[in-house]
Amino acid sequence: MAQPLEGVNVLRNPYVNEGTAFSKEAREKLKLRGLLPPRILTIELQAKRFMERVRETDDNLVKYELLDSLRHRNRTLYFYVLINHIEELMPIVYTPTVGKACMDYDHIFRNTDGLYVSIEDKGQVAELVSNCPQENVDIIVVTDGERILGLGDLGTGGMGIPKGKLSLYTACAGIHPERSLPVCIDVGTNNPALLKDPLYLGLQHPRVDGDAYYELLEEFILAVRKRWPGVLIQFEDFANRHAFKLLEIWRDKVTCFNDDIQGTASVTVSGFMSATKAKGTKVSDEKILFLGAGEAALGCSNLLVQAMIAEGLTEQQARDRIFLFDSKGLVVSSRDNLSHDKALYAKDVEPCTTFLDAIETVKPTAIVGLAAQSGAFNAYVLGAMARLNERPIIFALSNPTSKAECTAREAYTYTEGRCLFACGSPFPPVELNGKTFVPRQGNNSYVFPGIGLGALYTKASLIPDGVFLAAARALTETVTDEDLANGSLFPSLTEVRSVSRHIAQRVAEYCLESGIAQIEKPADLTAALEDYMYKPKYLD
Ligand SMILES: NC(=O)C1=CN([C@@H]2O[C@H](COP(=O)(O)OP(=O)(O)OC[C@H]3O[C@@H](n4cnc5c(N)ncnc54)[C@H](OP(=O)(O)O)[C@@H]3O)[C@@H](O)[C@H]2O)C=CC1
Ligand SMILES: CC(=O)C(=O)O
Ligand SMILES: [Mg+2]
């Protein structure tokens, strides 16, 4: 029989540890007397002490390490602090700082609580899964570390991303932290620096690919579904060649989605819905040119087509309004060897090899950067968009900040403050000619927490594309006229929990109506979701 937790083991368990907040009675009962200084603090005072320490340093990686160590010590206080300082701390646990943390992962490594599945474990993955201490896991975020943000192959260092995403699931949408599991699949790395770093923590050989790769992924998915049958699996930051294929294999078999393809699409479509609301037009009035034609850009294009069809266009009319520009230039019909997905958007126009030429040829009303090409939206590109449009839509969505196509200041300056702007990583407000613009993040982080909450609450068996359109509409419903007047296409992060609950509600309604939910509709869905959401409180 399991022994009840007591003494120092209580202090070592982040899910029950309350540190200096343990009451006199709890200290007595749990045999903690003498193991803590005598004064009892409230969670508010503990948070104050922690934030004082965080604010003492200007080094964001040090802030990340402080937060990570708190996460390992006291999960309740970690989420209390994160929820109450979400605007200040999200750029630390998430983009951009998480990118740096992934790059330095092997050098700042202290301890971990996720699951590492390596190619050497092939044939024994179920045993690894059975070693996980959690009895119940509702949600897994899994990466293989090959395309971490726009930073490329970071191998096992990619583990920072599932950890960060799951922190947001809890902070933004109240997914119970003990019921989530970050996972890193390790099949090697093709990053030359990691292959020769003596401190690298992953397998130090080139990536294994082909059948062996897909067999490992299958073994992993079947093993976690066997132990936790309803578990939702979020694929994150896989390289392009695996991302689409894994989604194709699994989307109709298990509860899963790819955040880079589908989550990004949802937030971007919402950005278009809000921007066109500000302009008094419709999404289907836009002519959109993407810089990039990968996971994110193709996912966005496909969902934009659905949004335009819902506004009355035919599928072909919708596709005609979307243009792609990849590493070889504008995606035109005369190009050889276009993938099937790109070919759907190929146009009968002259080839263009520079983005500026493509702008002059296409004359878009909107440009969306999803190619990790920092600075690609330069003064000429932004100037051309300002010349061609009264209210150009400029979305610089690549992450982290070092990969952004332009800064918020550049976007507003070169369009004379006329653009409708969103960015993948945060930028501070911009003052221009006496007006303050508040740019907000076109980042899938606005939607995946609410999508997860809605899907988990309704025990959705699958996550079809309709979920992402429902989430996009729901997110735009939370944008106020005041937000739009300030140039914000998304709501304030301070409202993120109610925003996520609203998204979850619309997602849950969609799941209930489309027959993928496995629960009866509750009398009061809003209250039921609110109830379901984890709140960081001590158990005393
Ligand atoms: N804001 C958000 O929520 C999200 C942002 N992103 C960001 O988007 C970026 C791309 O991610 P993802 O789509 O998954 O990556 P992919 O690798 O799937 O796609 C990258 C795309 O960029 C194109 N590309 C590369 N170099 C150039 C170039 N010089 N000029 C034009 N296009 C180029 C590639 O072209 P080709 O097809 O020819 O190889 C490819 O189409 C990353 O920075 C990521 O952080 C991703 C997901 C969410
Ligand atoms: C935001 C995100 O998922 C990415 O940049 O990959
Ligand atoms: Mg991602």
Catalytic residue flag (residue 15)? no
368-420 confidence digits (pLDDT tens): 999 999 999 999 999 999 999 999 999 999 999 999 999 999 999 999 999 99
d(CA 367, CA 342): 17
Edge-to-edge, what's the strand order for the sheet holding 322-326?
Answer: 329-330, 322-326, 288-291, 366-369, 393-396, 420-423, 440-441
Lowest mean pLDDT among 29-38, 107-116, 185-194, 479-488: 107-116
pLDDT at 506: 98
pLDDT digits (tens, 9 = 90+) for 306-360: 999 999 999 999 999 999 999 999 999 999 999 999 999 999 999 999 999 999 9
CATH architecture of 97-254: 3-Layer(aba) Sandwich (3.40)
pLDDT surpasses 90 at 113: no
**Token match 């992402």: residue?**
468
Compute the distance between CA of residue 466 and CA of residue 302 in angstroms, rounded to an integer: 12
CATH of region 261-540: 3.40.50.720
Expressed in angstroms and rounded, the spacing between residue 448 Cα and the centre of ligand 3 is 11
Q: Give the residue ranges of the annotated binding site for (S)-malate.
A: 147, 399, 443
Delimit the domains of the chain by residue range.
Answer: 97-254, 261-540
* pLDDT, tens digit (0-9, with 9 covering 90-100), for 170-220: 999 999 999 999 999 999 999 999 999 999 999 999 999 999 999 999 999
**pTM score above 0.95:** yes
Catalytic residue list contains 94: yes
Ligand 1 pocket mutation, candidates 143, 238, 260, criterion most atoms within 8 A of CB: 260
Phi, psi for 183 (deg, rounded to 5): -130, 135
User: Do 97-254 and 261-540 agree at the fold level?
Assistant: yes
**How many DSSP H helices and E strands does the chain contain?**
25, 14
What is residue 17's predicted lDDT score, i.e. its pLDDT? 97
Task: Please provide the average confidence, as pLDDT, over all residues in the chain.
Answer: 97
Spatial distance between the Cα atoms of 125 and 123, rounded to a whole number of angstroms: 6
